[in-house]
Structure 1
Amino acid sequence: MLLSHQLQSLASDAASLSAGTAIRCATANHRWDDAVSDERASEYSVYVGDVTTHTDWKAEHKSYLGSFVHVPLDLPRSAETFMAVNSRAHLSEQLDNTYLLRLESLGFLLDHPLVAGISTTFWQRFFNSQKDLRKNTLSDSDEALRIEFMAQWNAQRTQARPLFATFLNDFGGDLAGLIKKDWPHLLRDRLGLTHWPSSSNQALPVALMCYTLDDVRQARSMATKKGAVASFTRPTVLDAEMSAAFIPAPLQPGGESYGYTLDLANHSTVPESFTPELLTFPIEYQPRHIKALGFISSSHALLEDEAIFEARNRHVRGLQKLSGCDRFGEVLA
């Protein structure tokens, strides 16, 4: 990733060492991410400007996301993630249609004064009868409830931000079988969602979403004035907030060079055990997309800085075992 001289200096391990483990890991990502085009990196460097501290850089990075990635839904352009400036990270539009999985928090809906009523009613109706969520036909009243809940949820999604997702096939390909497991914690850990549950130590209500690549392609084709040229892309360091839990994956040839999540529960460095990750063009959720409800109630294993530092190093060692990737990144001492 081609950064300005000032950012290159801040991103060096020597400069970030004194800033703490979390910042050190996050800035290392900027040194390793080869999927960011020179054009996008230059634009980013100009936007961030001549910051002199890691704290200021982190703040400017978040501001960049608000301007270029987490764009308002009514803005007449898409996130740069899906525009030509990010073409180096784009995935093939010809990927075979298959199912994607995404974990969504519902806590804010259950607490939101405008939608708490419909959200609570929906939760109480379907949490103990979750098979009904996966039925094509419900009673008129239940179908009306499901439709109204989804409409209110979509109305609260005011940003057209990219959606992090993975493949159902990488979780066995059997949705019914997955739901019988402790899927909230399984997905939280496999997808590297270190921020769940919240620091309040309260159980976090979550929903398992399942949609298809064709759903995404259709959403992008309907957004004709948004400037998007891709429906799918691998995540880069410029597509989310700075995080010690994100690690760029090597950019490999072809249109299927996915990201790989940091597994919060697995100590393996075997490449075959990595979970692929992609960003999809935002879709409007439909009632059929919500497949299960659950809670994340226990902490993951990487709460301490030392634990996540060691897990990152294991992950990098695994990435280096991929074909032709032995020089990717660096194991931090």
Structure 2
Amino acid sequence: MLRPTVLGLLLACAVSLSSSAVILENGIPILWAQTAGQVTDLPFQNGILTPDPWHFLNRMSLYRLMIAATDPFMGSMGTGASESPLWGLPLQLGWMFTSGRLADPTGTTTCGHQTGDTTCISTQSWWGCVNYFASAIPFLSAAQQGFMGPEVQVQMQVPAGVEDYCTTYADCATRYPDVMSKWDAFFQGLKASTDSPLPDNEKKDSLLGLYWAAQMASSQASAACNTRQSHYSSSEVSFANSWLNSAEYVSAAHFQSSLEKSVMFLTPLPGRILQEGDSAPNIADLSQEENHTLYIFTWMKNINSLLGGSLVRLWKSAMCSVTTREKGREMLEQLLLNPSFATNSFLSIVTGMTTSC
């Protein structure tokens, strides 16, 4: 029973090359060309940078500015222009946007809906809330570490009456100290890497480790968003929780979420919010790829829960060194291109890697 189950676990991450969700426009994240190319393109008030993270283009701009500011420190990731692991974040936000997951799920406003401001991100969206921890907070850290220019102060805008989002570096560091300290460590590590004598593969592994530690801290802190799940169907909530859980696998392998690799992982995610009664793999208006991904996500989460988390632990324990993590990343990519690889070899390889640790 274990072999197909482990296959299922990673097929949740290693998905078909067929496209379901629209996340690219001319080879770059959707609406990228309309985002801020420099810090001064964002709103300023009294000398303080005041982005509006509840406007899609402003939130996407945070990613564009972070990628541009950190690219000079990403040499160990490879020679391409889109090798930075930060590329996975704007692509993920684009999928949330085009699939309707950033719109007001309560229906009390037209925020994010076709009948209103389509670029509005609702403060009541669970997905928008979770993403806040992986967009606004990293940007505040990057600015604090000097990546946005000397002594740039930042305060995120927030709609009137909304009080459960932190808006400044000090505010977020007080409310979520673990999240902020891990993003600080990542941005500091980038700077330190330029003088590091380590070979590029070890340097890359170290930086990806810092990056994923920060990402997982953001993910764990986003439990603060959980009350917003009440606005969604049980099918969507189940998928959302499985989606969060899948990060355990890519993070343990220090996966390099470059633009190209992230596209392959994100395109088969469901292109709309799930409704009551949606049951993969038999959702009529979703593609075969979307149905398969949803089915595997559910299988992955349920089997791992039944086994007390042992499948996650097996994978994590195998990802114990630079060498095994490199193999782990290669295996994830093999699963994309050659699913029979997992059926024939995956369990034995992971078990062998675990014992070698």
TM over 0.5: no
Structure 1 or 2: larger strand share?
1
Higher helix residue share: 2
- Give me the TM-score of the superposition, normalised by structure 1: 0.27
- TM-score, with structure 2 as normaliser: 0.26
